Amino acid sequence: MSCIEEKVILITGASSGFGMVTAKKCVEHGAKVILGARREDRLKELCESLGSKNAAFMTTDVTKKEDLNNLVNHGINIFGRIDSLVNNAGIMPLSFIEQGRTDEWDQMIDVNIKGVLYAIDAVYSHMMERGSGQIINISSVAGKRLIPGSAVYSGTKFAVGAISEGLRIESAGKLQVTCIFPGAFETELGSSIKDEKMLEYLMSEAKYANLAQPAERIADAIIYALEQKPGVAANEIVLRPTAQDF
Ligand code: NDP
């Protein structure tokens, strides 16, 4: 029996990219999934394709604590428990500091840091009381080093790394905590970049072109973390395209 089979796995940011592919792979491995994101049409379509016995969703804005509490309760009501959280929702409106796009900075802090914390809070006591659980946070290689324009995004992703390590220490012996640091992969993430200067910069730098690898590779890394048997966790996974030198 796969270590994923029969698990109840909550995935944020499941309406596209890593979250969507991971949801499909989890169900292929015999798990139940409870999915959250803001785009209801996407979640509905995905759940229909996965089957109502295997998948449920609730429209969720991770910047709202209440939404995450409702999502967790919805999962517990339908499937009886939450075994694993894939804390994946995120945005990446890269920009240069001189552009002063402070609303985007606020949004990144709200989604990428506060959203991750609210999701952890929503499942933490449920998992600790049961004495087990898995929390997989999605950081980025931008959470290990910077490029021009990534100051705030990197700040949020360094925070995800720190939060993961703190969570690991404080939940020792009970929770399996993983932080994944992806390089460039094919998803919708780049569409949140609106700063024209940033877009021009990324287009003009040859090293940023044609790097991205399929999102399935990160979903496979998430599955690897989910497959770890009780008593052990893959604490950190860095996965980059081989052509990515940053
Ligand atoms: P996508 O843009 O394809 O997916 C992002 C997901 O996050 C969507 O499902 C989106 O759903 C959700 N989301 C965004 N804002 C909110 C919100 N306020 N509330 C709830 N859900 C939200 O990108 P990826 O799959 O690439 O991104 C997943 C994670 O991977 C992010 O944390 C990202 O930073 C990280 N990452 C991605 C890399 C890549 O190369 N693709 C590299 C490194 C890290 P909706 O809009 O429907 O709410």
Nearest CA to ligand 1 atom 48: 38
**Residue 13, Cβ density class (10 Å: 0-12 exposed, 13-18 middle, ≥19 buried):** buried
Q: What's the 1 CA to ligand 1 centre distance in angstroms?
A: 31
pLDDT confidence of residue 174: 98
Nearest CA to ligand 1 atom 36: 140
**Tokens read off for 197:** 């200067």
Lowest mean pLDDT among 43-52, 128-137, 201-210, 231-240: 201-210
Q: Which of 15, 153, 156, 178 to mutate to test the pocket of ligand 1 (most atoms within 8 A of CB)?
A: 15
Average pLDDT, the chain: 97
Question: What percentage of the chain exceeds 70 in pLDDT?
Answer: 99
What DSSP character marks residue 134? E
Q: What's the 242 CA to ligand 1 centre distance in angstroms?
A: 22
Active site residue 153: yes
The pLDDT of residue 1 is above 60: no
Q: What's the 59 CA to ligand 1 centre distance in angstroms?
A: 15
What DSSP character marks residue 89? -
Q: Which residues line ligand 1 (CB under 6 A)?
A: 12-19, 37-39, 60-63, 88-92, 111, 138, 140, 182, 184-185, 187-189
pLDDT confidence of residue 233: 98
Q: What is the DSSP string of 71-84?
A: HHHHHHHHHS---E
**What is the Cβ-side half-sphere exposure of residue 181, based on CA atoms within 13 angstroms?**
20
Q: What is the mean pLDDT of residues 208-224?
A: 96
Nearest CA to ligand 1 atom 31: 90
Q: Which residue among the candidates 118, 124, 153, 208 is catalytic per the annotation?
A: 153
Question: What percentage of the chain exceeds 90 in pLDDT?
Answer: 97
Confidence tier at 142 by pLDDT (50, 70, 90): very high
Q: Which of 71, 187, 211 to mutate to test the pocket of ligand 1 (most atoms within 8 A of CB)?
A: 187
What DSSP character marks residue 185? E
Q: Sort strands 175-182 and 55-59 into parallel, antiparallel or unpaired.
A: unpaired
Q: What is the mean pLDDT of residues 138-145?
A: 98
Q: What's the 91 CA to ligand 1 centre distance in angstroms?
A: 5
Q: What is the mean pLDDT of residues 170-190?
A: 98
Q: What's the 42 CA to ligand 1 centre distance in angstroms?
A: 13
pLDDT confidence of residue 54: 98
Interval 39-94: pLDDT, tens: 999 999 999 999 999 999 999 999 999 999 999 999 999 999 999 999 999 999 99
- Start-end of H helices in 83-240: 102-108, 115-130, 151-170, 196-204, 216-226
Nearest CA to ligand 1 atom 24: 17
- Residues 151/100, Cβ–Cβ less than 8 Å: no
Confidence tier at 209 by pLDDT (50, 70, 90): confident
Interval 7-50: pLDDT, tens: 999 999 999 999 999 999 999 999 999 999 999 999 999 999 99
Instruction: Delineate the domains of the chain, giving CATH numbers in brackets.
Output: 8-238 (3.40.50.720)
Closest ligand 1 atom number to CA of residue 189:
2
